[in-house]
Amino acid sequence: MKKVHIGCDHAGFELKEKLKNFLMQEYEVMDHGTFSSESVDYPDYAHPVASAVETQGDLGILICGSANGVAMAANKHEQVRAAVCWLPEIAQLARLHNNANIVCIPARFVSNEMAEQITHVFLSTAFEGGRHENRVNKIGCI
């Protein structure tokens, strides 16, 4: 069974719990928190997910109110390509063209159903490679 790492801040807690149930049918879900809707700092949950994705080669899901905070924190990790996605089409392109390995979902701006669609598309789409490989290889700082 494939592993997926998931984490969120307080704004994403409810959606994270719903997505975990959706994912458990096909994935081993590694939950990095938070574990309640009490106010927390998003980097405390984005970094463990990003570290796991970076070292284990799995995919990840991060959720916060806008998705920007968790994406910024996760993208500090050298081997992480975290993409903010609010539509399935964006999630598909993030995987196809950018080889994103973490999807960042804005809990305050998408429905539960849309989040499930985004997650499904992200996890089931493979990197296209080809002309995109060279571009992706240039993302890191030199």
In a domain, 20, yes or no: yes
User: pTM to 2 decimals?
Assistant: 0.97
Residues 108-127 have pLDDT tens digits of 999 999 999 999 999 999 99
In a domain, 77, yes or no: yes
Q: Are 76 and 51 in contact (CB under 8 A)?
A: no
Whether 142 shows a pLDDT value over 80: the answer reads no
The mean of the pLDDT values for the chain is 97
Q: What residues contact residue 90 under an 8 Å CB cut-off, 6+ apart?
A: 83, 118
In a domain, 74, yes or no: yes
Residues pairing with 63 in the sheet: 8, 105
Asked about 104 being catalytic, the answer comes back as no
Whether 141 shows a pLDDT value over 90: the answer reads no
In a domain, 81, yes or no: yes
Q: What residues contact residue 72 under an 8 Å CB cut-off, 6+ apart?
A: none
Kindly provide the residue ranges of all beta strands, DSSP E only, lying in the chain, ordered along the sequence. 2-8, 27-31, 59-64, 82-84, 102-106
Which range marks the domain in which residue 42 is found? 2-137
Catalytic one among 5, 10, 64, 104?
64
In a domain, 64, yes or no: yes
In a domain, 142, yes or no: no
Domain count across the chain: 1
pLDDT of residue 63: 98
Share of the chain above pLDDT 70, in %: 99
User: What CA–CA distance (Å, rounded) separates 76 from 68?
Assistant: 13
Asked about 97 being catalytic, the answer comes back as yes
CATH number at residue 116: 3.40.1400.10
pLDDT of residue 1: 82
pLDDT, mean of residues 94-98:
98
pLDDT of residue 58: 94
In a domain, 112, yes or no: yes
Residues 42-92 have pLDDT tens digits of 999 999 999 999 999 999 999 999 999 999 999 999 999 999 999 999 999
Choose among 92, 80, 12, 88: nearest CA to 49: 80
User: What CA–CA distance (Å, rounded) separates 124 from 21?
Assistant: 17
pLDDT of residue 65: 98
In a domain, 27, yes or no: yes
